[in-house]
Structures are given as structure tokens and as C-alpha cells.
Amino acid sequence: MATPASVISLRTRPQTLQNYLLAAERAARSDGARSLSWIVSAVSSATKGIAARLRTAGLDGALGAVGQVNVQGEQQQALDVIANELLIAELQSRDGVVVLGSEENDELIVVDEADCGACRYAVLFDPLDGSSNLDVGGSVGTIFSIYEVAAGAEQDLQAGRHQVAAGYVLYGPSTIFVMTLGQGVDMFILDPAVGNFVRAGEPLRIPARGRSYSVNEANLDSFPAGYQRFLAECRAAGYSSRYAGAMVADVHRVLLQGGIFMYPPTAKAPAGKLRLMYEANPMGWLIEQAGGAASTGQGRILEVLPASLHQRVPVALGSRDDVTALELALAAT
Ligand code: AHM
Ligand code: MG
């Protein structure tokens, strides 16, 4: 007997992020996996709220600075604060969350009444990355990074290679959720009609070499000589330049199309500008999980031993051959 058409459409229905997380949890068969999928789900709920606030920000007075400077010495935007509050509110009540760390908070937040269950997690995040794009309606993002935490080790920071989940949300023409649980990288697009993130295509694989670089070229004169030499080689080879000024938007392009994203050391920021724990590590792991490479210029980002929540690190990530060419140029100078 022929299968009714309605059953076929149910079977081929696109997978939502919730179903994807449930499937991952079933495959792992552990209480820890259950907590982890709930935590990622909390991040996704918060980012839907952030996306909604961003859509109307030019109409409801949510743009502009709030007159406070964060621990990085940067002016906080109203939406930085709103995004941070939405993430903390969603995460601090989830089972298994014992520590939160945010770009917008000076210190780690230890969740005192955490229901610890079988597994305990730290969630580190940049609530609104690229916030200098807000006032012009440009793309911005949220980045998150999750670790397991041993009892009594709540204040200890771990190297990026110990992450158990990481991802970002790009708020652009679409709201796009990209994540890894350590078995490849998957992409989901928010369907605004139903409010679900829906899986888009196959797991992402970054091309071995790209045709563009993404760096703030206005700083070129103060980059170490190896970066200048590498960029000259790229130009000679016909590369294009693409730079949105929001790491999430720039890394998303590199992830899909290949190439290299960099924030090198500069005279003003000798250790680079980007933060290890909630920018470089999660983005670096995603790129590695898609088959690319993520380097400080001297070695793998994910091996860096963290000393503080807000520490900065030089970042170069993207197509494997492009990152290798940069490392060779740096080693030769
Ligand atoms: P933010 O998290 O305070 O927004 O800062 C990080 C951003 C990155 O998204 C982006 O790659 C970089 O800063 C841009 O810096 P610059 O304006 O120096 O090029
Ligand atoms: Mg940022």
C-alpha cells in the first residue's frame, strides 16, 4: 500500500534545534548530556529574545550607550546590557549551571543554589559581539562556550580544548545559530513564523583554502612584520578583503566560504583585542570542528592556559592552508 503523502512530509520535516539536541542527548545516554542539551536550549531561548529586541531597537529607544564602561574599558551599549541580562536570566536557573562568565561582568558568577545533578557546567559568553555595529543596523552576534566543572573548581578556568559545547548566533538578515558538541558543526536558521531554529543543510566543512582575508587593515602598519608579509602575499595572490567589524559575522563568512580571519597584536593592543575565553576559544573550536585551524600565530588557541576571564589573545582562524601560510610567515620573521 502506498504511504500517505502526509506521513511522507512528516518524515522529511526539517529538524529543529530542539529535536537535534534531544537526539544528541539520547545518543550520549547520560544525565550530563541531558543537562547540557537543556543549557544549550536556554542559550537558544535567550538569543531569540535578543533577536527580537534587535529587530525593533531603532524604534523603541534601545540603541545608544548607557553611560557605563565595562571591565574592558569599553562603553556599554543598552543592548549589551539587555542581551547580558537575558542570557543570565535564562541560564542561572537551569539545572547543571554552576558558573557563568560574561564579557559584561567583571568576575565569574557562581550560581549558589545550583541543582548540580550528575554534571556541573560553566557557561561563558559574549552577549553581544560587534556592538559598535548596533547604531548602524549592522550584523552583531552572541558567542558561547561551555565546560564541565569539577566540584570545588568553580573559579578555575580551563584551556579551550576542554570545551564540551560552543557556538554563536549571528543576527543579520536571518538569525543563524551555529554550534558544535564536538562532533562537527551544524547550522540552524530561525524560522520567525514558528519561533524555531531549523537545521539548514549538512554539517559545515570549511574549504582548505579561501580567497579572502578578514582583518582591520587600518592597523596594518602596527602589525608584526610576519602579518604584514602574509597579507602582502595574499594580495599578490589576488585575495579579496572582507571585514564587517563583528567577529561573528566575519567568522561566519570564513566558515562557509573559507579564507582567514585575524586580529593580530597591534601597538595599541599588544596581545590582540579579542578575548580568549568567550571569543577566541569557542570560535577556534568551531573552526577546528569544521576542518579548519585556529592559531595565536605561535600555536593552537585551544592549548592556551587561561590566567584570567577577560584575557586577550592574538587570533588567526580559518582555512587550514591559509592559517599554515600565516604561521610560516610569522616563523620566518
Ligand atoms: P566587542 O565584543 O566589544 O564588540 O569587541 C569585539 C569586536 C569583534 O567583534 C571584532 O572582530 C572586533 O571587535 C573589531 O574591532 P576593531 O574595531 O578594532 O576592528
Ligand atoms: Mg566580542
Kindly state whether residues 223 and 186 are assigned to the same domain. no
- pLDDT, residue 230, reads 98
- pLDDT, residue 23, reads 92
On whether residue 124 sits in a domain, the answer given is yes
Kindly state whether residues 168 and 247 are assigned to the same domain. no
Query: How many structural domains comprise the chain?
Result: 2
Kindly state whether residues 187 and 250 are assigned to the same domain. no
Kindly state whether residues 59 and 102 are assigned to the same domain. yes
Instruction: Name the pTM for this structure.
Output: 0.93
What nine digits make up the cell of 204? 559545515
Does ligand 1 have an atom closer than 6 angstroms to the CB of 224? no
On whether residue 128 sits in a domain, the answer given is yes
**Ligand 1 pocket test: which of 104, 134, 216, 248 has the largest number of ligand atoms within 8 Å of its C-beta?**
216
Which residues have C-beta under 5 Å from ligand 2, the single-atom ion? 126, 129
Kindly state whether residues 168 and 194 are assigned to the same domain. yes
**Ligand 1 pocket test: which of 103, 220, 247 has the largest number of ligand atoms within 8 Å of its C-beta?**
247
Kindly state whether residues 190 and 217 are assigned to the same domain. no
**What spacing in Å lies between the alpha carbon of 247 and ligand 2's midpoint?**
7
Residue at a domain's end among 174, 199, 224: 199
Kindly state whether residues 188 and 218 are assigned to the same domain. no
Kindly state whether residues 154 and 25 are assigned to the same domain. yes
**Ligand 1 pocket test: which of 128, 129, 139 has the largest number of ligand atoms within 8 Å of its C-beta?**
129
Kindly state whether residues 133 and 155 are assigned to the same domain. yes
Kindly state whether residues 19 and 159 are assigned to the same domain. yes
Per-residue pLDDT for the chain (333 aa), expressed as one digit of tens each?
555 655 545 556 789 999 999 999 888 877 767 789 999 999 999 999 999 999 998 887 777 777 677 777 777 788 999 999 999 999 998 989 999 999 999 999 999 765 566 689 999 999 999 988 998 999 999 999 999 999 889 999 999 999 999 999 999 999 999 999 999 999 999 999 999 999 999 999 999 999 999 999 999 999 999 999 999 999 999 999 999 999 999 999 999 999 999 999 999 999 999 999 999 999 999 999 999 999 999 999 999 999 999 999 999 999 999 999 999 999 998
Nearby residues of 242 by Cβ (< 8 Å), 6 or more positions away? 212, 213, 214, 250, 253, 259
Nearby residues of 154 by Cβ (< 8 Å), 6 or more positions away? 98, 99, 108, 110, 122
Range of the domain at 147: 15-199
On whether residue 74 sits in a domain, the answer given is yes
Ligand number nearest to the C-alpha of 282 = 2
What nine digits make up the cell of 307? 590566567
- pLDDT, residue 2, reads 57
**What spacing in Å lies between the alpha carbon of 38 and ligand 2's midpoint?**
24
Q: Quick count: other Cβ atoms within 10 Å of Cβ 146?
A: 24
Does ligand 1 have an atom closer than 6 angstroms to the CB of 124? no
On whether residue 7 sits in a domain, the answer given is no
Residue at a domain's end among 166, 199, 232: 199
CATH of the domain at 182: 3.30.540.10
On whether residue 86 sits in a domain, the answer given is yes
Atom of ligand 1 nearest to the CA of 269: 18
Residue at a domain's end among 156, 176, 199: 199
Does ligand 1 have an atom closer than 6 angstroms to the CB of 126? yes
CATH of the domain at 317: 3.40.190.80
**The residue type at 25:** E
